[in-house]
Chains A and B, each alone.
Chain A
């Protein structure tokens, strides 16, 4: 089996994997980073979104081997120690989650959205940009509010470096 090496949440990680192993399987099964979830098998739901080299990617659409040498950030690496990332804090503050299953993917997508579109996000932009993330609990109302607030706070609060 080939060996794959990558930097995950700031730590070098390496394992021998079956070549068909997806990144999400590598994270969940090899590294036991179970915060990244699998909610479908057609790359539709977005529960598995992580960042690869700073960009949001559905971890069910990439082979682990293709991430060799990359920097991967998962939900577990988003907070700065005990200090929550502003987007995490905003989801909590605005009740942007219920069962929590879609939440890691939502937060990772939202952080990437701010990187691409800035700190002032209107409702329509947020709703359009969430087309790759499904939530069955919240009706999105509070997720939209949380992302708008989190985006604003990311502009004013000191950041975890890893999340940039």
Chain B
């Protein structure tokens, strides 16, 4: 391992600009002559719009333009799309209602886009928006999953508000297994609705370049090329060769910045109309109202076990709330990102899942860190835990007894696990955590009137998304490869152009480590270019923990081509045959001789082209590659949460957290551990603190940081993080991906620990002090009686 190559925990290359205030986020970008957009949003969850009067607003001070849905329709601006087609059980395609960027006669959630005011200053735009008069005919709102099918119809195309009624697995086999089960464990659970809340709110600057009749959009995107593709091919703003999308430094995403939203679309559309740049910056309340939310499932699950405590079947019936419109990848989250993970780390012969996705008058719901996999993990890790308790078995031993132990392992729900050692992670986690000492610690807690609990979560997820043909066959509208280009400069410095996008993941460091190690050049001689469709030809972006497994594999492939070409050049320079050239640690040598040339010399020779015939060997040193994965990757591990509950107040304190993960090979362990920490924090937030709550009228009553409980430093513990390694056989670097694991693993670990502490299973997320206090009362009485 070189000092800056693969496996080195070096500090990040990108940090200097962030710690000195020199980052360049979208809101830091200002274009000459820019005007400011402010959106008038619906105050009602469900209403017909009878009329909109914009006259007074148009003549307000500083106003440049006011647009409504009529202008969008007149310009034939296409609606927002959902890029994954799901079919129902009966074969019918999902019921996708239209999703206009400005309302066409109807609003469907609080925050829905009614009009945009563009003015010289933001304050003027905001002031003028108050002069717009909208005549609403308020309709009954449908808010929760329980009443969605019987409530007012939200989209004409979707009777009973059903988007689809989908299933996966062999129902007959599952029913048969249940009929002969020795024991059946049943579980009702709610996977609470969350707001992603990256610290940087969304922002956009749209610009029209009149001389070339082309558009530029600066946007807070995790996938600028996908944004350009959708805005161009589907919404129809401009053809791709006349459209540049730039996503510079982006302040966190967690899924919420994958999607193509109305505001960004309107900024760039309006820029052409008014012939001036248009800037919009989301405030936090708008982010709560309109960024796509996450989770929001209600599930009934059953687990069948035989007399030996072996799992024989699992069935799950889930209702998923998709909100008022189908966001960009919404349909895939409760289907193919969810049910194929229900097998967990276990050998389960038969699985059947059915999912009913429903419209409600709430913000659209789409991928949020983990996307479907946390929901699956919560189902399987809760029900496995409860089954072990019902059977009187140790939860770790019950898991161990049912672990998949041979690979490849084909589950009954699509996935073929390629590599893993689940017992190794469990064993290591138990050692680090000192689970053997738990009984003593519990007794200590009890002596102080506290309840102590320990909970496991043995999660698995599917990353490295994904083999293009495979996802295509499941309904995806895109291929999920990644692209890379390696440009070697004549002095041997290297620029890597990647379709992945870094918004906190540290690609400028990890990608450079790959190159530095491979080419034997200083890491400072490598720059990573991303986030600009005019520089990087194409890319699919960053989500689903895919940038290491897929993005870096593309770079690896391009580096192989560069090395092969450089060897040809070296053969001419060193006057040897190509087959005798060896390349190692930045040096080309001729096998069996002392003849050598360094990397920089060969790079220069490739460009000056003096030593070879330019007709036989092309000058230059630049190669590109597309990497299409051959399988998903399967990160897996074991998290253990140990916590203490004060039964008098219901307050929960996490006392110990151990995470042992198998991410395959690691590029920069320091960065990987940081990803784990952040993921756990979001999962603990889901388990204990966070919930997006709508009232019966569809008003989001948790629409600020004062009302929505974000995890703060004092809510969280420090974490003990360990690793086990089974290299991933499906990509050349052996990487599995680490971005979402913490958020996937942690919620069931917390709830398993809490239910262990209070002695029963009736506790839903978020386990607020009020809920925990109620749940703890029985335990408190028991404790008092003893």
Contact = CB atoms under 8 A, between A and B. Distances in A.
A127 B713 contact: yes
Interface string A38-57: 11111011010000000000
Q: Which of B19, B680, B682, B719 has the most CB of A within 10 A?
A: B19
B506 A37 contact: no
B601 interface: no
B20 A35 contact: yes
Contacts of B505: 98
| Dominant secondary structure of chain B at its interface with chain A | loop
Interface string B5-36: 00000011011111111111101101000000
B294 to A, nearest CB: 13
A163 to B, nearest CB: 13
Size bracket, chain A contacts:
35 or more
B250 interface: yes
Interface string A95-139: 101111111100100000000000000011011101101111111
Contacts of A76: 20-22
6 contacts: A38-B27, A40-B704, A92-B19, A95-B671, A99-B503, A101-B251
A23 B262 CA distance: 30
A143 B250 CA distance: 20
B200 A142 contact: no
Contacts of B356: none
A139 B504 CA distance: 13
B710 A18 contact: no
Size bracket, chain B contacts:
35 or more
Given A40-B705, A42-B284, A42-B704, A98 B678 contact: yes
B346 to A, nearest CB: 28
Contacts of A18: 123
Q: Which of B20, B22, B714, B718 has the most CB of A within 10 A?
A: B20
A88 B20 contact: yes
Interface string B262-288: 000000000000000000010111000
Nearest to B250: A99
A55 to B, nearest CB: 19
Nearest to A97: B18
Contacts of A97: 15, 18-19
Contact of A35 (B11, B15, B23, B712): B23
B249 interface: yes
Interface string A133-161: 11111111111100000000000000000
A100 B713 contact: no
Contact of A95 (B12, B198, B200, B251): B12
Contacts of B504: 98-100, 137
A41 B21 contact: no
A123 B748 CA distance: 26
B323 interface: no
Interface string B634-648: 000000000000000
Q: Which of B15, B18, B197, B682 has the most CB of A within 10 A?
A: B18
Contact of A137 (B249, B285, B678): B678
B284 A99 contact: no
B674 interface: yes
Nearest to B676: A139
B15 A104 contact: no
Given A75-B21, A91-B15, A101-B199, A134 B710 contact: yes
Given A40-B284, A92-B19, A101-B200, 4 more contacts: A34-B21, A95-B671, A95-B674, A99-B200
Contacts of B22: 35, 76
